[in-house]
Amino acid sequence: MRLLFLFGLVLLPLQGRAAGMGYDEARLLLNRTGFAASENQVNEFAKLSREQAVERILRGARDMVVTAPPAWVNDPITPPRILRNLSPEERKTKRQEEIRKGIELRAWWLQEMIATPSPLTEKMTLFWHNHFVSSQQKVRYSKLMYQQNVLLRKYALGNFGELLHAVSKDPAMIVYLDSATNRKGHPNENFAREVMELFTLGEGHYTETDVKEAARAFTGWSIEPETGEFRWRPFFHDDGIKTVLHKSGNLEGDAVLDILLAQPDTADFIVAKMWREFIAPTPDPREVARIADQFRGSHYEIKIALRAILLSDAFYSQNNRALLIKSPVELVVGTLRQFDFSVPDALPFAFAAAQLGQNLFSPPNVKGWPGGEAWINSATLLARKQFLERLFRAQEMPQLMRTALKEKAKANGAGKLGMEQRERLVQAMEGIQFDADRWLSQFNVDPRAQAERLVLATAPVDRIDGHARGLELIREITRDPVYQLE
Amino acid sequence: MDRRNFLRKLGLGGFLVFVPGSLYAASSRYDYGNLLVLIELKGGNDGLNTVIPYADDEYYRLRPDIAIPRDQVLQLDERTGMHFSLKPLIALWQAKELAIIQGVGYPQPNLSHFRSIEIWDTASSSQEYLSEGWLSRVFASDPVPTRFAADGLVIGNQDLGPFSGGGTRAITLANTEQFLRQARLAGDTGLHVTNPALEHILKVENDIQQAASRLKGDYQFKTEFPATPFGNSLKNASQVIAGGGGVAAIKISLNGFDTHSGQPGTQQRLLGELAEGLVAFKSALNEVNCWNSTLIMTYAEFGRRPQQNLSHGTDHGTSNVHFMVGGKVKGGLYGPTPLLKQLDGNGNPAFGVDFRSLYATAVEKWWNLESRNILGGKFATLDVLQA
């Protein structure tokens, strides 16, 4: 019986080739562009050709969320002028309020990742969050972080040039990279350097002089402290002649961004980064150059580059399977989506992702999360295993999590949670539901083999030929080191 | 016949050299009885406001708003002093256990955080890209005894830094006791695979198993550690050292030195944490008689520019000041004082001591190993350690 079934598995993709891309390629495509596809989705996409499948995914892109953001995103900010005049006690209260808002923001985004009909949209929003990095640690105002997230989503699959111009004037970015203090005669080079090194050209494709000159061009970009909106301050702008990458003139900030966009290095840099996100850690330079040409030729339409990547031979190559290590967010959201967890409130997972090394809205530095093998060290690997262990003991979880709460709270700043949010956290954990038997019931031939084929990117390492059933079977599969890969 | 000769006779030596992991590598010339503790001042500490040329008018001219006033400087000699929040270190200075090395840098300095820390972590030159950390290269050439819990330990921050690449057994943890509780979740397959991502995960699992079987984290010190993340990291380091499981090097980070704006308050707090932490560390290591076998060394990606910016901060600079601390350190001032009237085109002072000289000192004088092949050249050692 088992032998017959395995034989069938080998035949299936061959049969499918003529009509569609087949199960394995469909699974690969859906998982690399989303968060752990379901068996039904994979079967549906298996019938499509690669081109049809990629078109359907790209067409599904959105620029709005389906999850309502916290109500406070519409409230005005408390300007620094008022904060400065508060008593130390009041200031502390304000700070804690901002921290609580930040936690709610993380929960909101994770909820959206769980709920969205277009996982690719959220994946690309996260990709740009890790590219155009800003961190709440420095920006402080949760509202500005929210607004930046909205902006990144708006352009997530739009035009990279427009995104670059917009995010460079985004208030959170203005604060994060010190543009507001970059003034004529007293340049602050932070933004000028990072826009070249990390946002466009990449290290080694510009000189120190370019940085200094560009910083002069960006002077005058600032924010209005009362509202937290972008503000142009001509008085602080240096309107002398600057030379950036051999282009001279009375350059202002937008002109410098256009100079950066005109450099072929920019398209190469972005495409190579997309390659590492969607295909494998080591980009193929010739393929990157080919796709970058199309990208630049389209004036930086992100969908053009992404389509080329998703239709490249390298994407489907057997040599590139299972080479990506899941990010904490991919692991957490993917697990919740994969196993049909019911998650009325994603708040607990904001802490979980942070503990695994990816605290949304707070990347470690302007370079973002390094990703890849850096996700896995002894501390984070153990945290991942513990997370899965606890998650799948869904019934015992409320108590377990309560016990763990204190410990976690200390590590992740939840100690600053107010009573209200603490209560919300406990309720959120009690609301998490999962039915292993129901989930497994969709596999009627050989549940273990079928579940493994859906859940694992390649053959498991710990081949325990056990007789595990139900929840135990799922725990065994997710405990395998291969579960960390995609 | 030692292991290496034995293997060579079997014709396996050449092959085994390429097997990652020190388990199979040649035996070492050193037993790593001396411990190296690296403290990373992440973000690029402003050396000029840490160790201050308080007699130099140029210093006050370059920093009208953020210079440390002369009467607040802790004077070390007639022209050099320390930031007032380093006061706890005065005891170490007077005990001649604190070496201050000024003017540390490298030719053609890079001002990017990431590239420059990569240069420091891999001990490369400015134009050279190396994939392995400098300590990984030391351990590959002279393996840490296999009975050790790990080659290197990273506490707090998760960046492997000088331990990255190679077959280094590097363990990252925030809390030793928690690590030991969780370690049972790691498998130990001992399997060999070709998928590099999977290979990495399996290696980490094996490293966890080995570390967990040897580390201890329950030593009760009389010393009280500062209630800061940095203090907590030092406490965990002290417990690992007291437990005797064996590690060759420990890396601890103190974050937040990228002071582009509002520097005075931030740096005062951070230097205070550093100084109080180091004093507690010494006290704890004295309790377990390990102070004389521990060398502490600070490092950072770069120093900061002498000219302040308009935000009461400083931008990325080049040469910097670093500390070496320990029971065997010969305290005092080393390296040149910054020549603030002779800044380069970017407004930075020239360096006088190559950072690889600090590494060469650790490798040759602390571990009695050759450093030339590790560091890609001969770098002068500093006479900063007692024989």
**Sequential pLDDT tens for chain A (486 residues):** 444 444 445 445 444 445 799 999 999 999 999 999 999 999 999 999 999 999 999 999 999 999 999 999 999 999 999 998 998 889 888 988 999 999 999 999 999 999 999 999 999 999 999 999 999 988 999 999 999 999 999 999 999 999 999 999 999 999 999 999 899 998 889 999 999 999 999 999 999 999 999 999 999 999 999 999 999 999 999 999 999 999 999 999 999 999 999 999 999 999 999 999 999 999 999 999 999 999 999 999 999 999 999 999 999 999 999 999 999 999 999 999 999 999 999 999 999 999 899 999 999 888 899 999 999 999 899 999 989 988 988 655 555 555 565 555 555 555 567 778 888 888 888 888 889 999 999 998 999 999 999 999 999 997 666 788 889 999 999 999 999 999
Rounded Cα gap, residues A16 and A94, in angstroms: 59
Contact at CB, B112 and A197, closer than 8 angstroms? yes
For residue B111, give the nearest of A208, A323, A484 by CB distance. A208
Cα A443 versus chain centre, distance: 31
| Per-position DSSP letters for B200-220, written without gaps between them | HHHHHHHHHHHHHTT------
In degrees rounded to 5, what are phi and psi of residue B249? -150, 150
Q: Which helix (H) or strand (E) holds B334?
A: strand B332-334
Nearest-neighbour CA in chain A from B119: distance (Å): 13
Rounded Cα gap, residues A410 and B258, in angstroms: 25
Instruction: Give the SS3 label for residue B301.
Output: coil
* Chain B environment of A374 (Cβ under 8 Å): 158-160
Q: What is the token pair recorded at B299?
A: 């490092």
Phi-psi region of B166 (alpha: psi -120 to 50; beta: other; left: phi over 0): left
Contact at CB, B112 and A325, closer than 8 angstroms? no
Contact at CB, A190 and B174, closer than 8 angstroms? no
Q: What is the token pair recorded at B182?
A: 């969780």
- Give the closest residue to B380 by CA, choosing from B352, B360, B350, B351: B360
Is there a contact between A409 and A415 (Cβ–Cβ < 8 Å)?
A: yes
* Chain A environment of B113 (Cβ under 8 Å): 365-367
Task: Give the CA angle between residues A302, A305, A308 to the nearest 5°.
Answer: 145
Nearest-neighbour CA in chain B from A297: distance (Å): 31
| Per-position DSSP letters for B96-139, written without gaps between them | T-EEEEEEEE-SS----HHHHHHHHHHT--TT---SS-HHHHHH
- Which overall architecture, per CATH, does domain B31-375 show? 3-Layer(aba) Sandwich (3.40)
Contact at CB, A389 and B114, closer than 8 angstroms? no
Nearest-neighbour CA in chain B from A107: distance (Å): 24
Name the residue in chain B with its Cα closest to that of A211. B111
| Domain locations in chain B as residue ranges | 1-25, 31-375
Cβ-in-10-Å burial (0-12, 13-18, 19+) of A19 comes to exposed
Mutation target for A interface from B127, B132, B236, B260: give the one with most A CBs within 10 A: B260
Per-residue pLDDT band for B192 (boundaries 50, 70, 90) equals confident
Is there a contact between A86 and A96 (Cβ–Cβ < 8 Å)?
A: no
In degrees rounded to 5, what are phi and psi of residue B104? -85, 130
Q: What is the DSSP letter of B173?
A: E
* Chain A environment of B158 (Cβ under 8 Å): 357, 374, 377, 379-380
Q: What is the ipTM of this complex?
A: 0.91
Rounded Cα gap, residues B163 and B152, in angstroms: 7
For residue A382, give the nearest of B185, B193, B260 by CB distance. B185
* Chain A environment of B179 (Cβ under 8 Å): 378-379, 382
Mutation target for B interface from A382, A463, A476, A482: give the one with most B CBs within 10 A: A382
Contact at CB, B182 and A386, closer than 8 angstroms? yes
- Give the closest residue to B178 by CA, choosing from A406, A287, A209: A406
Rounded Cα gap, residues A79 and A88, in angstroms: 16
If one compares B193 and A458, the residue with the highest pLDDT of the two is A458
Is there a contact between B54 and B73 (Cβ–Cβ < 8 Å)?
A: yes
Mutation target for B interface from A378, A479, A486: give the one with most B CBs within 10 A: A378
